[in-house]
Amino acid sequence: MLSRHEIASHIVLACHRLYERGFVTATDGNISARLANGNILITPTSLNKGQVAETDLVEVTASGALITLSSTPSSELSMHLFVYKQRPDVRAVVHAHPSHATGFAAARMPLSTALLPEVILGLGTIPLAEYATPSTDEVPASLAPHVKEANAVLLANHGVVTFGATVEEAFFRMEKVEHAAHILFVARMLGGEKTLTEAEIARLKAAAQEKGSPKERPFLTDISEQSVKQLIREVLGEKLKSTDR
C-alpha cells in the first residue's frame, strides 16, 4: 500500500502531465486517489493543473467530509466519490477535457468501434454518459449506467473520466482514450475506419491471454534522501579524483 506522500506525488505528476499534454486548459480537470485509510485525496477547485503542488491537495472522507480545511475540493467531488463507492477496485479517478475525445463527447458519439487492438484489450468500449450539468449531482447520476462496466466514460458535451487501480493506470487510460479518438477522427477523414471482425477480436483476446501482460516500470521512482546523498558523494568523489590527476 502506498503512503499518502507517494500517492500525493503521483497525483501531482499526473496533473502536470495532463496540462503538458494539452488534455486540460486554464483550470479544467481534476484528479483524485484513495488513500490507505479510506479517505480521498483530490485536487482543489479552480487551480491550473500545471501548477498543482502536494500541499494544494485536499483530503476528504469517503462521504465527502473535509479533513483538509485550508482549500476547497474540486467542484466534481461528488462524481469522484460516486465512482469510489460503486467500484471498490478503483483507487484513482482522472477527469479531463482532451480535444478529440471531448469532440466525440460533444458530437454525442461513444468510442465503441472495435478499431485498435491496444484499446480493445486495455479499455474495451468507451460509452457515452448522458449530458449532465458539470459540478452538480447530475454528473454521478449520468455515470450510473456505465460505472460498473467501463474504465473510461465520455461525458456528453463535457469531457472524459477514467478510473484505475493506480493514478498511473487512470492517467494512461485518459491518454489511450484521447489517442483512440484522434486516430478514429483521422480514419474518418481518410474515408472511414475498417473495424476488426468478431473472429479477429477473439484471436486478439486469445493471444493476449496466452502472453499475459508485461510488467511496466513504476510511474514515479521515489528517490530517498539517503540515495541522493550517496549519489552526490559518488559524483563529488569522482570529481576530486579527476582533479588530483
Binding site for ligand 13P (CB under 6 A): 27-30, 45-46, 74-76, 134-135
- CB nearer to ligand 13P: give 130 or 193: 130
Q: Rounded to whole angstroms, how far apart are CA atoms 165 and 125?
A: 18
- The C-alpha cell 521515489 sits at 222
What is the nearest approach in angstroms of ligand 13P to the Cβ of residue 65?
18
CA-to-CA dists, residue 48 to 23, 66, 158, 163, angstroms: 12, 21, 18, 21
Please say which residue, 110 or 134, places its beta carbon nearer to ligand 13P.
Answer: 134
Instruction: Give 175's contacts (C-beta < 8 A, 6+ positions apart).
Output: 21
The residue with cell 508485461 is 214
Phi and psi torsions of 39, nearest 5°: -75, 170
Closer residue to ligand 13P, CB minimum distance, 46 or 209: 46
Q: How far is the CB of 64 from ligand 13P (least distance, A)?
A: 14
Smaller CB separation from ligand 13P, 71 or 125: 71
Smallest distance from ligand 13P to CB 111, Å: 19
Quick check: is 169 catalytic? Answer: no
Element (DSSP H or E) covering residue 179: helix 167-189
The CB-of-76 to ligand 13P minimum distance in angstroms stands at 5
Does residue 15 contact residue 31 with C-beta atoms inside 8 Å? yes
C-alpha 99: how far from chain center: 15
Say which of 20, 59, 76, 193 is annotated catalytic: 76
Quote the least distance from Cβ 47 to ligand 13P, whole Å: 7
By CB atoms closer than 10 A (0-12, 13-18, 19+), residue 7 is buried
Which of 79, 165, 185 is closest to 122 using CA atoms?
165
What is the β-pairing status of strands 30-34 and 40-42? antiparallel
Smaller CB separation from ligand 13P, 138 or 175? 138
148: which DSSP letter? T
Amino acid letter for position 214: P
Catalytic residues: 76
